[in-house]
Structure 1
Amino acid sequence: MKHRVLLTLVYSSGLRVSEAVQLKLQDVDPERGTIHIRQAKGRKDRYTLLSRTAYQLLEQYIRKERPGKWLFPGGTEGRPLTTRSVQHVFEKARQKAEIRKPATVHTLRHSFATHLLEAGTDIRYFKSC
């Protein structure tokens, strides 16, 4: 479930894999529908979207797994999941889904932007995401 939630957030919020693995519970604000990304690219903080659907899935994961410091803990105590682990999980999911086109976790970030544009969202609205 952890991997499904993580990949869902990457796609639905346009996260970089490095941002997703660094998330903490306090970074998620369901009332405002946002995720606070701390020290993103360029060492800048930013906010991105949190969909209701993604939050509902996240909420189930939190109730079931009760993560500690990191929203997505890794195999080493007190450390988050590694970006390499996420890339490996994504590759396995891509193969299981029999997707033959080349794709990476970062492809999900591009898909987020593409789908917002296709839905008619003004690019200025999510350019900072």
Structure 2
Amino acid sequence: MSLRLLFIQYSATSLAKIIKVAARNAKILKVVTPHMLRHSFATHLLEAGTDLRTIQTLLGHNSLETTQMYTYAATSSLRDIKNPLDSL
């Protein structure tokens, strides 16, 4: 299989329909949109320690400032980080 076959382009409408059917099949009652999946993808990458430049490339953003929008969601997990000095 060539690498070109992995990058099939879908219209926004087709992609939304595919996601809607997949959510229904998974018995997800909440509305799921392509943007929600894109946002979740970026947020999870950021929380896993992926650098912003890599996320910028993966999302196809021209500007790093656009990618930085995703950092606000990831900062909520910072509250859960324990300071190792607190256990001394």
TM-score of the superposed pair, with normalisation by structure 2: 0.49
- Greater share of helix: 2
TM-score of the superposed pair, with normalisation by structure 1: 0.36
User: In terms of Rg, which structure is larger?
Assistant: 2
Greater RCO (Cα-Cα under 8 Å, separation 6 or more): 1
